[in-house]
Amino acid sequence: MAELKERTFIAIKPDGVQRGIIGEIIKRFEMKGFKLVGMKMLQPALLHVVEIKRPMLVECVASSVILCVFQVWEGKGVVKTGRVMLGETNPAESKPGTIRGDFCIDVSKNIIHGSDSVDSANKEISLWFKDDELASYTSCAFSWLY
C-alpha cells in the first residue's frame, strides 16, 4: 500500500506558465491516473533560491516574470513514470508524446522540472509545502486504477 502513496514534486517553470500550458500538464498527469495532492503558484524568493542552489529555481528567478507552479502528485511509481512523461532534459532528445517532446525546442526553455528520486521528491516537497498543505483523500477512480 505504501507504493501507492509515493509522491513526486513537479514544477512548471516560468516559460511553461507564460505559454499557458499548465492545464495540459495537469491533464496528462490526471489522465495517467496520478492524484494531485498539492499545488501553488508562487514567485520564489531569490534568497531562498540561492540558499538551496537548485538550477530549476535559479532559472525561475532569472526569468523576466518569476512565476512557477509547484505541484505534488501521488501514485504508484509516480517519480519514475513522471520523469518518463517529462522527457529528456534536452528537448531535442525527447520523444514525441512527452511533455518536453511536444512543447519544447531549446534546453534553456524546457518548461518543467520533476524529482529524480523519492528522496529528492521528499526534499523538494518539504521546501515548498507544509504537511497541512497537502491533501489526503481517496479518489473515486482508485478502484479502477489499482
Measure the CA–CA gap between 28 and 73, rounded to whole angstroms.
Answer: 12
48 is catalytic: no
The answer to whether 38 touches 135, Cβ cutoff 8 Å, is yes
Nearest to 29 by CA among 70, 74, 59: 74
Q: Which residue among 7, 28, 35, 113 is the active-site one?
A: 113
Please report the sign of the dihedral spanned by the C-alpha atoms of residue 127, residue 14, residue 41, residue 34.
negative
Return the residue matching grid coordinates 489522465: 31
All three cell numbers of 93, joined, read: 532528445
Residues identified as active-site: 113
